[in-house]
């Protein structure tokens, strides 16, 4: 899905600084700037605005001013503009991929999937707005009944650092398609691609329809969710912050969409081809650099094949290439920053203290020329399901392995976490697979192919994994409200209410 030649990192040029994108242009940040560095090398990339209350207020005002015109724009024109955004994103994807690679530390090859999904979001909702964003009508005894969809207004959207463009597209596309205007707060850890995307949007959308204010969560993020002129809150991130966003939405009676992470089980039945299953399992816990809410981080392996499976899983882990993020042959690269790197390493100590056994990995490794980065080995830990290492989201290339014998017991084990975002199943018996899938408390269940994202499929979770669904037509409803108009042809007859 590439429309331009692949670039070298040396060809990427950044602006000296990226202030907030408000009303169609980058403006100066009122609170100064935050250094943006290469996650793997520590080299300075640029500076991003430290957004605060004043910047957020300006952005919300710009979004409010643009709302009337944008909401009254025909769905056909909105659809055309959404397709233009997709075309522009596709044409600029190689440059943006490299920017995200350097900004996040993730391996470059992974961004092929990121941008395929992001581009698709805009194309999907460009089509969905024409097919699903409809009301209904029917005659009544004395007139006509009509229902219609209307946008909510100004939408506040807060996204994390791990997959910037996927998150941007998943939030932005349905909101724009439904006729809303946006203030987006990207993560301060990695948002250079989002700021560059804003510059591209300036040539496509009317001023003020999309506004982007970077900054710290406790400054720009807090100011955004607290702003009195917001009509919808959307957040992806930690459960703790999600609860605060949800509380604010509840107090102000605002619609809210929350995606708050996961701790996904990956169940291995004994009838599978072990070599293929090991490959799928390795992808499931190392892709996205291990920094993903849908990571298949809990391998539940049937006792009959446990020893052989784990032995081969370890051998496969040894083959995973750890290297520079910008090398397309690299399969595991740098963690986003020192704070997250140390957090992952600390979990290995927690695992040891709990009595878990690290079967492979557990170490930070050095990549020549990239000594700044936190490169962590793919790590396999034998653990009981009740241990913290098997219950808490780590956000690193880490998987626990646990035995099971009884199908009812493994389903209970799979569901015995606070999350319910995704799950995986590997078996050649599809009847068994579907029966198991129906009993799992997870928003997405992938059978025999982990990360099997499909077009138009809803994405979201059970339990602490969040509220609402994204990536499909349900998201249009989340960014809309319904209005009923009942028409009577004539006024009531005089004396009817005697």
At 426 the three-state DSSP class reads: strand
Q: How many CB atoms lie within 10 A of CB 123?
A: 20
Pairing type for strands 25-26 and 33-37 reads unpaired
What phi, psi does 410 have (nearest 5°)? -70, -35
Produce one character per residue of 235-266: b if its CB has 16 or more CB atoms within 10 Å, e if not: bbbbbebbeebbebbeeeebbbbbbbbbbbbb
Report the run of H or E that residue 254 belongs to, with start and end.
none
**Beta carbons within 8 Å of 460's beta carbon, 6+ residues apart:** 257, 259, 421, 443, 466, 467, 468, 469, 470
**CA distance linking residue 331 with residue 348, whole number of Å:** 22
Residue 385 · residue 414 · CB < 8 Å = no
Instruction: Note if 191 is an active site residue.
Output: no
Residue 474 to residues 41, 111, 132, 146, 299: CA-CA distances in angstroms? 41, 26, 9, 21, 31
Catalytic choice (100, 219, 259, 441): 259
Which residue, chain included where needed, has tokens 């509220």?
467
Q: Note the helical H segments in 162-238.
A: 164-177, 192-201, 222-226
Q: Note the helical H segments in 372-486.
A: 388-391, 407-415, 430-439, 473-478
Q: How many CB atoms lie within 10 A of CB 494?
A: 7
**Beta carbons within 8 Å of 296's beta carbon, 6+ residues apart:** 264, 265, 266, 281, 284, 285, 399, 422, 424, 450
Residue 268 · residue 313 · CB < 8 Å = no
Catalytic choice (293, 377, 393, 441): 293
Token pair belonging to 452: 């099997």
Backbone torsion region of residue 97, taken as left when φ is above 0, otherwise alpha when ψ lies between -120 and 50, otherwise beta: alpha
- C-alpha distance across the termini of the chain, in Å: 71
Q: 159: closest CA among 235, 83, 226?
A: 235
**CA distance linking residue 196 with residue 455, whole number of Å:** 26
Bridge partners, residue 22, by sequence: 25
Instruction: Note if 155 is an active site residue.
Output: no
Which residues are marked as active site?
259, 293
């Amino acid at each position: 899905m590439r429309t331009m030649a692949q670039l070298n990192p040396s060809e990427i040029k950044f602006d000296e600084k990226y202030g907030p994108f408000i009303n169609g242009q980058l403006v100066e940040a009122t609170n100064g700037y935050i250094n943006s560095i290469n996650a793997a090398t520590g080299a300075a990339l640029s500076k991003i605005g430290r957004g605060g209350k004043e910047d957020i207020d300006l952005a919300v005002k710009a979004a409010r001013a643009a709302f009337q015109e944008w909401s009254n724009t025909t769905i056909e024109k909105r659809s055309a503009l959404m397709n233009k955004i997709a075309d522009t994103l596709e044409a600029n994807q190689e440059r943006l991929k490299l920017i995200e690679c350097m900004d996040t530390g993730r391996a470059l090859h992974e961004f092929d999937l990121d941008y395929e999904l992001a581009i698709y979001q805009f194309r999907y909702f460009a089509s969905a707005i024409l097919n699903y964003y409809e009301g209904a009508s029917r005659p009544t005894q004395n007139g006509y009944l009509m229902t219609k969809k209307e946008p909510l207004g100004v939408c506040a959207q807060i996204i994390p650092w791990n997959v910037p463009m996927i998150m941007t597209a998943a939030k932005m596309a349905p909101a724009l398609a439904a006729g809303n205007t946006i203030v987006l707060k990207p993560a301060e850890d990695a948002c250079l691609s989002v700021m560059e995307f804003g510059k591209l949007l300036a040539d496509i959308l009317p001023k003020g329809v999309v506004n982007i204010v970077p900054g710290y969560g406790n400054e720009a993020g807090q100011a955004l969710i607290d702003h009195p002129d917001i009509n919808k809150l959307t957040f992806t991130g930690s459960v703790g912050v999600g609860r605060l966003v949800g509380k604010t939405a509840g107090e102000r009676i605002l619609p809210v969409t929350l995606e708050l992470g996961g701790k996904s089980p990956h169940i291995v039945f004994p009838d599978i081809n072990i070599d293929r299953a090991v490959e799928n399992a390795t992808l499931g816990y190392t892709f996205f650099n291990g920094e993903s809410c849908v990571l298949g981080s809990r391998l539940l392996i049937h006792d009959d094949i446990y020893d052989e499976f784990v032995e081969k899983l370890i051998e496969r882990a040894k083959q995973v290439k750890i290297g520079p993020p910008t090398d397309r042959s690299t399969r595991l690269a740098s963690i986003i920053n020192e704070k997250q790197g140390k957090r992952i390493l600390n979990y290995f100590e927690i695992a040891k203290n709990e009595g878990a056994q690290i079967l492979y990995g557990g170490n930070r490794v050095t990549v020549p020329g990239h000594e700044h980065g936190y490169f962590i080995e793919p790590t396999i830990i034998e653990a009981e399901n009740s241990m913290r290492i098997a219950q808490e989201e780590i956000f690193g290339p880490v998987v626990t392995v646990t035995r099971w014998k009884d199908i009812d017991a493994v389903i209970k084990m799979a569901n015995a976490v606070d999350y319910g975002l995704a799950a995986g199943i590997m078996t050649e018996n599809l009847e068994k697979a579907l029966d198991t899938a129906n009993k799992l408390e997870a928003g997405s269940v992938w059978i025999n192919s982990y990360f099997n994202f499909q077009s138009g499929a809803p994405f979201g979770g059970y339990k602490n994994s969040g509220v609402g669904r994204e990536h499909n037509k349900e998201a249009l409803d989340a960014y809309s409200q319904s209005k009923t108009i009942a028409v009577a042809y004539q006024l009531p007859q005089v004396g009817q209410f005697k």
